[in-house]
Amino acid sequence: MSSNHNHSASDESSKRHRIEGPQKHIVGFVLSLALTIIAFAAVSAGEINQTFTYIILVGMAVIQVFIQMAFWMHMKDRGHLFPIIGILAGVFVVFTMVIMALYWVWW
């Protein structure tokens, strides 16, 4: 009976490793590379408005962060609630500090 239990556990483990194979890392790498190329092309093209270029750069950076967190840091997987809460709390603190600093300087 215990050999049956060990066999099913190894099958479940192999299924998990098959799902988390290198294909997802390759997809994450290709997406990151594409976003980097788009950002580089936006900066290299001199005819684009500077404000629009900044918007493209910030947008690509935000998307890049989500891709990095999902594919490389495995935040999309189960059991990562506390790290996600910590990251969101840190983002909230940083945005609050930036808004307070801007408010303090300009008013």
Say yes or no to pLDDT of 99 above 90.
Answer: yes
**Tokens 């999902």 label which residue?**
70
Say yes or no to pLDDT of 20 above 80.
Answer: no
- For 70, other C-beta atoms within 10 Å of its C-beta total 15
Q: Give the pLDDT score at 12.
A: 54
Q: Give the pLDDT score at 47.
A: 82
pLDDT tens digits along 48-63: 888 888 999 999 999 9
pLDDT tens digits along 66-82: 888 887 777 777 777 88
Q: Is 77 helix (H, G, I), strand (E, B) or coil?
A: coil
Q: Which of 89, 51, 79, 58 is nearest to 97 (CA)?
A: 89
- Residue 56 CA to residue 42 CA, distance in Å, equals 7
Find out whether 28 and 71 touch, Cβ atoms under 8 Å: yes
